[in-house]
Amino acid sequence: MEPGVVILGLAACVIAGFAGGYVLRQYLSTSKVKAARSEAEQIVAEAETKQKEMLLEAKEEGLSILREGEQDLKQRRRRARKQEERLQERQEALERRVEPLEKRERSLASQEARLKHKDDELEALVGKRNEELQAVASLTRDEAKELLLKGIEEDSRQDMARVIREVEQETKETANRQARKIISEAIQRYASDEVAEITVSSVELPSDELKGRIIGRGGRNIRALEAAAGVDLIVDDTPEAVTISSFDPVRREVARLALTKLIVDGRIHPGRIEQVVAKSKGEVESIIQEEGEKAVFDVGVRGMHPELVKLLGRLKYRTSYGQNQLEHTLQTAHLAGMMAAELGADVELAKEGGLLHDIGKAVSHEVEGPHALIGADIVRRYGKGPAIVDIVGSHHGEEEAHSVEAVLVAAADAISGARPGARRESLERYVKRIKALEEVASSFQGIGECYAIQAGREIRIVVKPEKIDDLGILRLSKDVARKVEENLAYPGQIKVTVIRETRAVDYAK
């Protein structure tokens, strides 16, 4: 085939391809335009539909708000009408009350006028009666008064003579009692090294200005100290001193140490008081332990149980008839040991028995029964043999003595207590009564702490606030007072004070 024909054929094919492509592009562009138009029309239609829906929703919402506003307005109008009606009723009630008051006022005024008229009539009648009496008795008013006074004077002289005789007799009896008291006090003062304090301790102050700080604003500091330590703090006119009163010597010593520390430190407020009292309690426990160990060492006893040592230390703060109990036990132990050595008996056994013979007094106010039998049960419980148990249980005759050492310890006990100036009058019954008072108060539910103060004339009870409310403490005070009346015998009266306190504590870090 000729080359020209081939070229022409190729050119024709190229032209045909361009023509076909052009036609195809035109067709495609036309279809896209149509599709875009239809899509735009559809979007416009949807927008119009949504616009209509939004308009409808807005109209409905507006109608809803309008209806709610109308309902609220109606409710306010109803409330306003009710308030107007109540005010109208109150006004009518006040008017009804005013009318009887006005009537009563008018009635009182008329009664007052009648009473005044009757008073005038009564005065006139009295004057007339006096004139008639003077005429009948042939005596003037002054003469009758003088005659009456003479009769009264004669009767008074007889009564005065009788009263004078009674006073003289009572004065003689009182003078005898006072003389005996003065002599006893003089003997006790002379024997001050032997006789210990019973229920009070004094704390010296650098100046009287500290008394106000100890009392605190509204008495809050002194109340906090009394509640924390269980004592009664007496701040009176005694210069540069305050007095701590309590039947329990351990509490009194804790309060004395705490108050001394507070005075030295200078920071006196309820929170600090509780911290110092808690610390002082720990120090007193340490002193008790040290005193017990010292007593065991002085007597030379070995192998003593730690609890017995602690109970011996507690005797430092106990007294028997005014005599310090720890000193008494040491004296009894040494006396029994010396007598045992003279008679050839067991010296070590006599000393140990003398040291432990009054161990029951360390807990005698917590357990009912004679202290000798209580002590025998204690030493038996802590591993002491029958010989020691016999000495402790028989030293006051509650049980029969079965050894020479038991008899020697009983004799040494009597010798130690019988020395001149060693003892004063008994407080055993008094202490038991105070302890019984605290036990009666503690028998109720919801009690946190309770203390007998004012020498047993007041019982102070601190309740748990989560268990007893403000109304409950009123019932509790009445119930405690009623139970004390039924179960205890006591002179005078006992004040029952119930305290309820809620505290919130947090720490800034």
Same-domain check for residues 249 and 267? yes
Q: Is the four-CA dihedral 489, 491, 492, 496 of positive or negative sign?
A: negative
Decide: pTM greater than 0.75.
no
Range of the domain at 250: 200-283
H-state helical runs in 396-465? 404-418, 428-442
The whole-number pLDDT of residue 116 equals 84
* Domain C-terminal end among 375, 407, 426: 426
Q: Strand order of the sheet with strand 458-463?
A: 447-453, 458-463, 495-500
Same-domain check for residues 450 and 404? no
294, pLDDT greater than 80: yes
Query: Rounded to a whole number, what is the distance in angstroms from the first to the last CA of the chain?
Result: 110
Residue 184 lies in a domain: no
What is d(CA 451, CA 459) in angstroms, rounded to the nearest whole number?
6
194, pLDDT greater than 50: no
Q: Going along 97-210, which residue ranges are E strands?
A: 200-204
291, pLDDT greater than 50: yes
Angle, vertex CA 109, rays to CA 105 and CA 110, nearest 5? 120
Counting every residue written for the chain, the total comes to: 509
Q: Looking at residues 165-190, what average pLDDT do you find?
A: 55
Helix (H) / strand (E) element for 320: namely strand 319-320
* Domain C-terminal end among 256, 283, 310: 283
CB 371 within 8 A of CB 361: yes
Same-domain check for residues 353 and 396? yes
Q: For residue 319, which phi and psi values (nearest 5 degrees)?
A: -130, 150
What is the tally of structural domains in the chain?
A: 3
Same-domain check for residues 349 and 387? yes
Residue 18 lies in a domain: no
The whole-number pLDDT of residue 137 equals 58
Same-domain check for residues 494 and 439? yes
Residue 386 lies in a domain: yes
Per-residue model confidence as pLDDT tens digits over 246-258: 777 788 888 888 8
Tokens of 456: 């047993």
Per-residue model confidence as pLDDT tens digits over 339-388: 888 777 888 998 988 888 888 888 756 667 788 888 889 989 888 888 98
The whole-number pLDDT of residue 187 equals 34
Same-domain check for residues 417 and 465? no
Is residue 61 very low, low, confident or very high in pLDDT (cuts 50, 70, 90)? confident
Is residue 329 very low, low, confident or very high in pLDDT (cuts 50, 70, 90)? confident
Same-domain check for residues 380 and 467? no
- Output the DSSP codes for 43-61: HHHHHHHHHHHHHHHHHHH
Residue 190 lies in a domain: no
The whole-number pLDDT of residue 189 equals 34
Same-domain check for residues 214 and 275? yes
Per-residue model confidence as pLDDT tens digits over 222-239: 888 888 888 888 877 777
Distance of CA 175 to the CA centre of its chain: 43
CATH no. for residue 323? 1.10.3210.10
Segment among 6-10, 95-99, 334-338, 470-474 with least mean pLDDT: 6-10
CATH no. for residue 480? 3.30.300.20
Which of these, 428, 353, 335, 434, lies nearest to 390 by C-alpha position? 353
Residue 326 lies in a domain: yes
Segment among 7-21, 154-168, 215-229 with least mean pLDDT: 154-168
Residue 80 lies in a domain: no
Q: Three-state DSSP class for 496?
A: strand
Question: Which residues 6+ apart lie within 8 Å of 272 measured at CB?
Answer: 262, 265
C-alpha gyration radius of the chain: 51
What is d(CA 419, CA 14) in angstroms, rounded to the nearest whole number?
153
- Exposed / middle / buried, residue 293 (Cβ in 10 Å: 0-12, 13-18, 19+): middle
Tokens of 130: 């006096």
Q: Which residue has the higher pLDDT, 197 or 485?
A: 485
Segment among 125-129, 270-274, 306-310, 476-480 with least mean pLDDT: 125-129
Q: Three-state DSSP class for 500?
A: strand
Tokens of 319: 């007294």
Q: Looking at residues 31-53, what average pLDDT do you find?
A: 80
Share of the chain above pLDDT 70, in %: 82
What is d(CA 378, CA 314) in angstroms, rounded to the nearest whole number?
14
Which residues on adjacent β-strands are paired with residue 242? 203
User: How many CB atoms are closer than 10 A to CB 331?
Assistant: 20
Question: Which residues 6+ apart lie within 8 Å of 206 measured at CB?
Answer: 240, 263
CATH no. for residue 227? 3.30.1370.10
Same-domain check for residues 452 and 391? no
CB 250 within 8 A of CB 284: yes
The whole-number pLDDT of residue 454 equals 74
Residue 289 lies in a domain: no
What is d(CA 447, CA 426) in angstroms, rounded to the nearest whole number?
31
Same-domain check for residues 419 and 450? no
Same-domain check for residues 246 and 323? no
Residue 21 lies in a domain: no
The whole-number pLDDT of residue 183 equals 34
- Output the DSSP codes for 178-209: HHHHHHHHHHHHHTTTTBPP-SEEEEE-S-TH
* Domain C-terminal end among 376, 404, 426: 426
Same-domain check for residues 408 and 351? yes
131, pLDDT greater than 80: no
Per-residue model confidence as pLDDT tens digits over 426-472: 456 677 788 888 888 888 988 888 888 876 778 999 998 888 888 88
188, pLDDT greater than 50: no
Is residue 4 very low, low, confident or very high in pLDDT (cuts 50, 70, 90)? low
Per-residue model confidence as pLDDT tens digits over 203-216: 777 777 777 877 88
The whole-number pLDDT of residue 195 equals 40
